[in-house]
Amino acid sequence: MAERGEDKRLFLGLLLVTGACLGGAGLAVWWVPRVSSRVDSWLPALVGGVIGALGLLVLAGIGILLFAILFERDLPGTRRLRGVLVRGFFPPMVAVARLFGIAKERVERSYIAINNQLVLRSRWKAPPERVLILLPHCLQVNTCEVRITGDVHNCRGCGQCAIAGLLETGERYGVNVSIATGGTLARKIIVEQRPQLILAVACERDLTSGIQDAHPLPVYGILNERPEGPCFNTRVDLGKVQRALERFVVAPAPERARATL
Ligand code: SF4
């Protein structure tokens, strides 16, 4: 919980500082033509009008995001807009974070944590067949010769990597499981399977871009573990996946119901 507070404070702080920086830059752009004696008299008014309108839009955007972060829910009618706003503000926020020596990965983690809180607070639920577990290929141990990218069910369940356990969990809850080797394939899988909710396992970078790409489709992100470095023999806490499924899957699938009898 303390971690969540820290994530929220970091994202909130960066959002406010980024807003102030954008405001300052806008003011400078507006002010320079005014003090220049060479420009026509209509130019400052025109630039001022454009900057003023943009400034109001930025302020409104920051207000919408602040509300979502502070109250862990969206202002009425702004859920779709939130994804666009985060996508717009994220690059300058990362640049501001860099100025303060904050790693991009930390900003991404704070965004994923806030996104997860919003998904949890929205009380999203979906029937098992409309829930999709989306996994990165790097969970497969590199010595495995089975090709699972086209069909994850090719896995022989030897248990040397997390794939076997994830497939078993997916089957128990009756949800679909797929492997995405990149954003393009992930989008294709989403179009084909038409999930109502995605439970995605990935690194900070891929989860951040995936959550933004899929918006307004709710994505609950679970970070993978990388004891051998990025993109190589990664792991995932199966307990986190199971707990998320307990929260999001509407009704027990027959298999699961039988298992709990
Ligand atoms: S569980 Fe075994 S068969 Fe399945 S992907 Fe991992 S190593 Fe390959």
Write the pLDDT tens digit of every residue in 119-131: 998 888 999 999 9
Atom of ligand 1 nearest to the CA of 146: 8
Please say if the pLDDT value at position 2 is more than 50. no
**Residues 127-150: tens digit of each pLDDT:** 999 999 999 999 999 999 999 998
Q: What is the mean pLDDT of residues 245-249?
A: 96
Q: Which atom of ligand 1 approaches the CA of 148 most closely?
A: 5
Alpha carbon nearest to ligand 1 atom 2, residue: 158
List residues bridging with 179 in a β-sheet. 135
Mean pLDDT of 246-255: 76
Ligand 1 neighbours, Cβ below 6 Å, are 140-141, 144, 146, 148, 155-161, 163-164
Ligand 1 center to residue 254 CA distance, Å? 26
Q: How many whole angstroms from 223 Cα to the centroid of ligand 1?
A: 20
What is the model's pLDDT at position 237?
A: 97
Question: Would the pLDDT of 253 be above 70?
Answer: no
Mean pLDDT of 10-25: 88
Position 35 scores a pLDDT of 65
